[in-house]
Amino acid sequence: MKLRTYFLLSFACLIIVVIVSMSVVISQRTSHEVREEIGGSLAALAYQMSDKLDYYMWSRYNEILLLSHLKALRFPSDLEEVRGLLRELNKNIPSFSWVGLSDPDGNILASTGGILVGSSIAGRPVYKEALEKPFIGDVHDAVLLSELLPNPTGEPLKFVDISTPLFDDNGKLTGVLAAHLSWEWTKEIKFSVLKSLQGDSKNAIEVFILSAIDDTVLLGPDSWAGKKLVLEGAGQYSGTNEWTVQQWPDGRSYLTGFAQGAGYNNYPGMGWKIIVRQPAEVAFAPIHSLVKDIVLLGVVLTLLFSVLAWLFAGNISKPLSRIAEAADRLRRGDKTEIPQARGIKDIEVLSSSLRGLIAELTATESELVKMEDQAHRDKLTGLLNRSSLEASVTRAIKHAEEKNGALAFLYMDLDGFKGVNDSLGHDAGDELLRQAATRIRDCMKAQDYAFRMGGDEFVAVLSVPLQGALLEANDAANRILENLRVPFELEAGIAKVSCSIGGAMWPHNGTDPQLLLKLADQALYASKSKGKNKLTFAITEHAS
């Protein structure tokens, strides 16, 4: 074999090894990260849908509660005024298909459109369940109203009941304010959630809303309406914001995201399960395209450098040997780089090209890591965001278990922040949030985690010794309180706020992070009720 041919073959093999090694490593890592990102996006979509449903129901629930305090409804002496109020509610919020006021015996005195006036609803849950406290009923078919309300679609009418008792000043029942909320509003929410998606793939995304009682499909594709949806092996995901690749009854594999409503503020929630699915081949198409591009790039570069090897392989045996050795180290996973050849111009160009290739591939990987980090940080404050909470808490718990330590979960809310926004403007409010985040982080150790949950809410996860854990957590929380009481020097002026904190301890109050966050949140509300600028720790003991 001629020397030139020998060098050509050797050099071609070297390039293939380098490119294939780097391509395999990068494609595997990037594929995993992109897969996690795509799955997380679908789970976030399910959570967003669940959150919007709870928020919408909270709004309608409180509108009914607000009306129940009006004197005109509690003491309905002027029924024309009552009808005017109900008409305005229906006009401004069409989702209220029917709203009616009954006397204490369940006879309708006034209603939207005059429907059922003079009729009795005493036998209906919307009346019977609301004689002592507000009532929210799950989705059901229309009974009394099926023939009385307009139905342009011809589909069976479905409602959610909201009702509340009305009392006089002595606590005596004067009537019941009952409302039927049309189920059609959920389709509007689904449309608004999916509208933000980009690309053709959004057309392949389907949303299901399931009853918390028996997994009946309340909203979904027409072929699933009213049926029970049970996914084998998916029970562990139904109550969390998770995703998985799931085989469905039609035999196809779908990327499936899960979430479950947990209520909002004083609205207790119906526990509706949200499932969002997308065909796996559609969801993961970007990954297949990425791998294909990497392979194509490897083929092109292999051909390019093979031509260069044929042109400049006359006198390169020694530099080529060094390059081959470096490539072998790269293949083994050692941290090294292609050596820079000196003395032979052709080899200098070749070695520089290889160095550039490795640098570009490495830079691509670094950029992906940087993008992933940015996606898990709050843009305003630079703290970790809500989406990174679960992974960060998992790492904190693992570290605490290794060190035989404990963790303090602190849920924080700024007192008086709305006043800063109102008086100094939202730019000043943003500046205050950035400074507050810095002050909170200054009170923590390097191994602690700080998150901005949204608005003026923050969460801190502190590593503390197992012995005296509560005392040390209390000291850290008080440092935060003291730090945040110091006036903030903003461009728009001086602003003063304080902070209310609720805390829970791992493993003292439990080992489930979601439970601990809930306990900390409840303790936060306890701090607020004490007059704000307070610190409260959960005292309920939970089995670990």
Catalogue the active-site residues: 456
Torsion of CA 249, 254, 255, 259, to 10 degrees: -30
The CA distance from 429 to 435, in Å, is 10
206: helix, coil or strand?
strand
CA angle 409, 383, 368 (to 5 degrees): 120
d(CA 242, CA 260): 10
- How far apart CA 175 and CA 72 sit, in angstroms, is 12
| Phi-psi map region of 501: left, alpha, beta (phi>0 left; psi -120 to 50 alpha) | beta
Sign of the C-alpha dihedral, residues 371, 375, 380, 382?
negative
Half-sphere exposure of 179 (CA within 13 A, CB side): 29
CB 336 within 8 A of CB 330: yes
**CB < 8 Å & 24+ apart, contacts of 297-304:** 297/19, 297/23, 298/19, 298/20, 298/23, 301/15, 301/19, 301/357, 302/12, 302/15, 302/16, 302/19
With 0-12 CB in 10 A as exposed, 13-18 as middle and 19+ as buried, what is 422? exposed
From CA 238, how far away is CA 223, in angstroms rounded?
21
In the block, which residue shows the tokens 């069409």?
Answer: 94
Cα–Cα dist 343/214, whole Å: 78
What are φ and ψ of residue 384, in 5° steps?
-65, 150
DSSP state of 116: T
Pick from 194, 158, 160, 205: which is nearest to 178 by CA?
Answer: 160
